[in-house]
Chain A
Amino acid sequence: MKTQKLELVCPAGTPAALRAAVDAGADTVYCGFRDATNARNFPGLNFSRDELASGIDYAKAHGAQVLVALNTYPEAGNPAPWHQAVEDAADLGAHALIMADIGLLAYAAEKRPDTRRHLSVQASASNPAAINYYQETFDVKRVVLPRVLTVPEIKALNQEIDVETEVFVFGGLCVMAEGRCSLSSYATGQSPNINGVCSPASHVRYEDKGNKMVSKLGDFTINQFSQSEAAGYPTLCKGRFVTQDKASYLFEDPTSLNAAEFLPDLMEAGVTALKIEGRQRGKAYIAQVVAAFRKAADAAANNQPIPPLGLENITEGQRETTGAYNKRWQ
């Protein structure tokens, strides 16, 4: 069961970030087109068809592969942009397509069977029955696991499925209802699941109130930070709310996942690939995180201790967590 070497799957929001990821040691890079077919549909981000073609060439020339995220749910009555994205990504030589919607998986399996299909975390498949269904029906080769499982749970899961597993090891965290979260829709009318944007920037406002900075999403005040306090993303799930006269993070703290210390355990649990979150982050983040995890993954493969990564300066809220891997709640 033990994996010999963990594949490092790294994010890229721009061609420059893709090159930075490859140069820093990524085995595979995942990215998306500049539209609503992927869950990071942010202004100025993502790839044109030409840019993806160049990116794939660059990655292949350096021994890496490119995965294309088509992980939103097609708009009702308008599947054409998603179908076109499948065709274009396959034509351009993408190593695999990362998808969540069963209709899109069916389309890709039928029309482009030679291009690997990975199940996105947005599908939220976390038990053997669900994963085996995706594998038997759509010949999915890999599943990206939701960030809700402990290491023993991942190990048990791997013993009951016949597809590769990919797990998040670094970056931003979502509330644990990926693909089903409606908080952004509630506040702004746009969601990561269909529009590809969680808490879209067009609805975000920051106001400098002298001794504090206030962040707002739509009509909601999400948070206020004192001068010396580290800030976080302006999403409802990471809002600070007042209950019983005390302001606190009710759903989730602004903090980043860092599971580096679990790499040997994840290898032992039969995990194939490690995913780094952050297609919306700059190339400096990509270069720093990928280089650090390259060292960590290589150390794990050689049965050596995981070196300190020194990534605290780029984490959300300047804090880290091991998340559900070390679950201390019910």
Chain B
Amino acid sequence: MSQAPKGPVAPLSPVLLAGLAVRPLPHQLLQPLLTTAIKQMQRQHPDVFERLTSVNSPRFLIDPVDLPFSFVMDTQPDHPSLELVKSDQNELEFHVRASVRGPLVLLIELLEGKIDGDALFFSRDLVIEGDTEAVLALRNAVDGADIQVHNDLLSLFGPLSKPVDLAAQVAGKLFNRFTRDLHILSSATLAPLQRKCDAQSAAIEDLEETVTALKKQLRRRSGKTT
């Protein structure tokens, strides 16, 4: 039996499908984009990396569970890096202090401070492992930085930023529509299964109560006989 992937279940989303589409591409093609993005973040938000020096500038594994690859982020303030790695690679090879796992859209919203990290953790949409102090420092550092991924990336395009912005807005609308459609499809597909699961959960709960009652009876009886 194969081991289940770590972290939250990947939602059926355009990100998941896009990830499958780019899976055959060599990582070398995507790596320059990541290098540019992290350098841009270093220029625009140096305070993020400065705040992380209080926990000795850790390396993190950032794992968008709906993509077939993950990122290793080194937070050294002078030369931060973001490296693309395969999701099925052995984590020990990355020498990270902690890992953060969740759907890509939620990770971006967390980066931008649009969503509360504790709330994501309570709802189990976000899973962390490793050095919790390092993750907390990262969360607090990015939350305080007013990062806006869209605007930060647009500034890379210089005079072309306006047409790129228009194209991104159209793509964003299509993305939202596609997300809604996939959600409808997913709900319709999973509804019968959900009903079965609910029934099984209720049955298990009944059984647990019965077992607890039986154990109590057993304890009482064994108490009387000793």
Contact = CB atoms under 8 A, between A and B. Distances in A.
Interface stretch (B127-135, B149-157, B165-173, B184-192): B127-135
B139 interface: yes
B53 to A, nearest CB: 10
Q: Which one of A254, A313, A315, A317 has the greatest number of beta carbons of chain B within 10 Å?
A: A313
B114 interface: yes
A111 interface: no
Contacts of B122: 230-232, 254, 314-318
B140 interface: yes
B132 A14 contact: no
A44 B54 contact: yes
Contacts of A15: 144
A282 B117 CA distance: 7
B4 A210 contact: yes
A318 B121 CA distance: 10
Interface string A37-49: 0000011110000
Given A16-B145, A284-B113, A284-B115, A200 B121 contact: no
Contact of B127 (A208, A229, A281, A314): A208
A208 B7 contact: yes
Interface string A278-317: 0011111100100000000000000000000000011111
A210 B3 CA distance: 8
A314 B146 CA distance: 20
Contact of A16 (B131, B136, B146, B212): B146
A232 B4 CA distance: 24
B136 A43 contact: yes
A231 B121 contact: yes
B116 A282 contact: yes
B37 interface: no
A136 interface: no
A15 B145 CA distance: 9
Contact of A283 (B51, B113, B216): B113
A211 to B, nearest CB: 8
A285 B119 contact: yes
Contacts of A227: 124
Contacts of A213: 124, 127
A242 B181 CA distance: 45
Interface string A1-27: 000000000000111110000000000
- Sort A-B residue pairs by CB-CB distance and give the 5 closest, nearest first: A44-B140, A14-B144, A44-B137, A43-B137, A285-B116
Given A228-B124, A245-B212, 19 more contacts: A14-B144, A16-B144, A17-B143, A44-B137, A201-B135, A201-B136, A202-B132, A204-B132, A208-B6, A210-B3, A230-B122, A230-B123, A246-B212, A282-B115, A282-B117, A282-B118, A284-B119, A314-B118, A314-B119
